[in-house]
Amino acid sequence: MHHFWEINELIIETFAFLEPGDLFHCAQVSKRLSVHALDSLYRELEGLYNVLSILSPINPPRYPRADQDEETIASTDDYTFAKKSLSEDDWLRFQHYAQRVHQLDCDWMGNGYNIPLITHDLQSVTLPDCGLFPNLKSLRWTGHHLPAFENLRIGLSVSLRELMLQAASPVIFDRLPEVLQCCPELESVTLLLDYPQSHTADELPTFEDDKVFMMVTSLPKLKELHLDPPLVSAETLTSISRKPSLTSLIIASCPALPRKIPLPPLPACPLVESDNYPALRELCLSLPPGSQKVPESYAGCPISSLLVDASGPSTDNLSNLLQDFRQFRNLRHLVIIFSFDQTSTDEQDAVEDDTILSDDAEQYLTFDMLRPLLSLSLVVFEASTSPFFLLDREIEEMARCWPDLESLCLCTPQADFSEGTEPEKIMPISSLEIFGRHFRNLKNLRLYVDATVVPPLSEDVAERHVFDCLLQLDLRGSKVEKPCDVALYLAEILPQKCELVKYDGWTYEFFVDDMDYGWEDETARDVWDEIGILFTGMQTFRLKVLHRLWSRVSSPKE
């Protein structure tokens, strides 16, 4: 039973059928196996580089409920991370496997079988100077864990590169400069502060600027800093931005760029003003409502990636804001988030907001407003806004100005309009051909289109193959009358390796003859699945797609 090949075969044959949630039960069983069997287990299962892997030889911890008082907790037989709860063999095994841990995810909100609660009394445990996990590279410390933060150092190591810390109070950050002194290799720090969504900016607590600045200056290799929300002064942020090693600054309640895009190298001839920002290349900002420009402190900054959240109730200043982006002459990746503030205090406000959305959505962002950006050499442009309408000649002009464009998104990821609120102007699905013929380097495309009228199929498939290297198409749209026609049309114009993003945003109108297609009992989700199936094997779509359609029609009904 303890022979390597037997255990190895057992693991391969058994664990292949297990869900991730069953891994802990496997770990309980593995405790009774030999060290060789455990080694085999770690080699065979994916993801065992994380904290779950090191808990396999340890007694399963039991946690007190949140509603228990201290006396009740003291009287319960809860396992802690003290050596007294582990046998000598358990502790030795833990130390052995802890060296393999490179990523540790401590979620104190949903503390399942993740990591035991840390007691304040660690006298029975001899912590090495490098922490419990000497080779740890990434630590995510999230959830409500203020008491446990006192022992955050157990997860820190000299080799730590990435830290995400979430807290319910800014008090938790008071000791950060001291705690992080043992992590000279830190390159990425994310500080998230939990606060009620109903709080206004004036009600939010603040960090002490000098402590945040001290923390940043104490990390010589820091490259990425994310503060959510941005609770330090603009002057402090400006000083932080000028840190010689800092390449990415995110001071917004939003993630970094949607796709992790490698930052380009420093320009051969940087701007004169860039001396103030020797390394900064990525900037993510949340602008106050009605703001007309990026803060002046970043004027002339040689950033190549910019994400701006300009959401708010006013759209009067959008033109000025877009013109302000021209100052960033090294810009290659631009992501703009525009949205109406539809929160209202009474029903009347809600009615007015709906009216604005239905009547003026197409006026929210226009091509003329974007024209100042055409002077930039963009590779990525994403405008998360109301559906963006472009004429054919405007698409051609945009393609001439941005010949290297690889990613283009012209609507929100959640573009979904209820009946009666759809914009009046929507690009027809045939506009895809214009994009494909002029944007030769396009790899990602997200559009809101009208698919009620589908261009007729071409006699020669090759002449409709308009996209060269498109990898992902995300279509948002209005009602679709004939899904199979849409599928056949897209199969003609898309490359073989292109993925069609699947989502539930489309709605379907079934004006289909049941005798011809046999789809009378299918739901919208079923039809979307059919469209997805139609896209498999696009290289010979005439055979595979038409064969599938014919088989659906000719198959006998049950």
Buried/exposed code over 461-474 (b: 16+ C-beta within 10 A; e: otherwise): beebbbbeebbebb
Pairing of strands 407-409, 305-309: unpaired
Measured over the CA atoms of residue 521, residue 526, residue 530 and residue 531, the dihedral's sign is positive
What does the pLDDT read at residue 491?
72
User: Are the CB atoms for 94 and 86 separated by under 8 Å?
Assistant: yes
What does the pLDDT read at residue 7?
44
Pairing of strands 282-286, 248-251: parallel
Q: Where are the alpha helices (DSSP H) in 48-175?
A: 51-54, 70-75, 88-98
**Cα–Cα distance for residue pair 443/432, rounded to 1 Å:** 13
User: Are the CB atoms for 53 and 101 separated by under 8 Å?
Assistant: yes
What does the pLDDT read at residue 294?
84
Rg (CA), the chain: 28
DSSP code, position 202: G
Q: Is 405 left (phi over 0), alpha (psi -120 to 50) or beta?
A: beta
**Cα–Cα distance for residue pair 93/229, rounded to 1 Å:** 41
For residue 229, is the peptide bond before it cis, meaning its omega torsion is within 30 degrees of 0? yes
Q: Is 47 left (phi over 0), alpha (psi -120 to 50) or beta?
A: left
What does the pLDDT read at residue 271?
42
Give the domain ranges of the chain. Answer: 1-42
Pairing of strands 427-428, 248-251: unpaired
With the CA atoms of 68, 69, 74 and 75 taken in that order, what torsion angle do they form, in degrees rounded to the nearest 10? -60
Amino acid residing at 520:
E
Query: What are the beta bridge partners of residue 193?
Result: 167
- Through-space distance between the first and last CA atoms of the chain, rounded to whole angstroms: 51
**Cα–Cα distance for residue pair 449/452, rounded to 1 Å:** 9
Collapse the DSSP code of 270 into the 3-class scheme (helix H, G, I; strand E, B; otherwise coil) and give the result.
Answer: coil
Residues in the chain with pLDDT values less than 50: 1-13, 15, 20-21, 23-24, 27-28, 30-33, 41-42, 44-86, 110-129, 146-147, 198, 256-261, 266, 269-274, 313, 340-363, 418-419, 504-529, 533-542, 544-558
What does the pLDDT read at residue 543?
53
Collapse the DSSP code of 183 into the 3-class scheme (helix H, G, I; strand E, B; otherwise coil) and give the result.
Answer: coil
Write the burial class of residue 321 (CB in 10 Å: 0-12 exposed, 13-18 middle, 19+ buried): buried
Residues 6+ apart with CB under 8 A from 295: 234, 238, 285
Q: How many CB atoms lie within 10 A of CB 404?
A: 13
DSSP code, position 320: H
Q: How many CB atoms lie within 10 A of CB 172?
A: 19
The distance of Cα 344 from the centroid of its chain, to the nearest Å, equals: 28
**Cα–Cα distance for residue pair 188/248, rounded to 1 Å:** 9
Write the burial class of residue 271 (CB in 10 Å: 0-12 exposed, 13-18 middle, 19+ buried): middle
Collapse the DSSP code of 472 into the 3-class scheme (helix H, G, I; strand E, B; otherwise coil) and give the result.
Answer: strand
With the CA atoms of 537, 543, 544 and 550 taken in that order, what torsion angle do they form, in degrees rounded to the nearest 10? 160
Query: What fold is seen in the domain 1-42?
Result: Monooxygenase (1.20.1280)
Angle at 141 between CA 158 and CA 202, to 5 degrees: 120
